[in-house]
Structure 1
């Protein structure tokens, strides 16, 4: 499995929207996608669940011993398999976070128990900033998907995230790197345009793509639909398609001759 956490140093950057729309776009391209909500705000269901208002099931119901893991999952939009977070009270959240702190390999063991096909892409939505949830996914991540706004706040918060990536991801041989999504960009605003240009110069090939500021995104959420289903010809729908295609290129295995040569060494 390829674990692809969507992470951010600060809130308000459209992290969950990016996670949801990349999940559905990748599924449209024929990939097996498991979307996991590891954010206690439990917002991924609003984009992907067939009954967005329902808080039944999910990770929370398993923690309360009401369901097993298989029954806690739901079949989401566009063929995505979704594990929502669900509804935990304060005591339940404290208990869960203590458990995650004491069991650093919990998520890896959980995913292994699902016995999913090897080609499954696991998109994990996480809370903004440092947390035990972030630590869990960074220990497994193949590529970190990092939404950024073209503003000073995102640039200032970036080092906080980079420290965690350096600690949990960089030492692992299977880690490819970060993939930045420049989200809600508005070419008509000079400052936005200038910051975006600086980010592209700094991040180079790590920029996965750009998602333009587009009313279709909020309208799709209000309709509980993915952008590409709600407005397939919109700018944002094309942006997410470009990001998904770029992501798959970065995940593509090395060529067969190169792999064979490496095995012979």
Structure 2
């Protein structure tokens, strides 16, 4: 018999997470799986007190990860449907799921229980390094702790993200030496991120950037992303990134930087 219990310490499911990532056919999005997923509520699947799987549900009622080990006796389709139908007294109602096309097992289970779906984001990765010698019109500098407030205000003004969240987020990137900036006369015009993975996907670098609204449409975004791609390649890392399906401008920039939209992140709505 299978029991579902909340997981308080994610170290308990470290080996299961490792197996989950090993099933993927491409690198998974860093923000979703190392930013959003750890903040979600995790539930463990137990058979005779043995932990054989888990899932996590975010604060909006959407599943972000689902995994059942091959050693489990339970049927993963039946278990997933039980959760998707809201019939787990421990988990409660679940609206739907976010899943990528690089997660075939999880995606198949989601589609079995889907009433509708929509592409949320495009997932990019560099398939092969360019042999060309890229000429840079601009160079990014590594961010220092003294520049934290400037980066936070820059992001608030240009993408409207919450100031409190940005302060913690950028502080962590600065400490990890993963945040870069481009300045003109002390004015920050672009922020670039080259986020590294501590486990599971250590051969990849997850890129991100923000360009000042006043500089958009002038080619700066392309230059910033080229610089970030080159920075990752110099460390023998393969760049990945993602962008919303509606952001056509960003998609063009990413394509010009030599990255390919190999996969998608899909929002699934479960049958009610």
Same fold (TM over 0.5): no
Higher percent of residues as helix: 1
Higher percent of residues as strand: 2
Which structure has the greater CA radius of gyration? 2
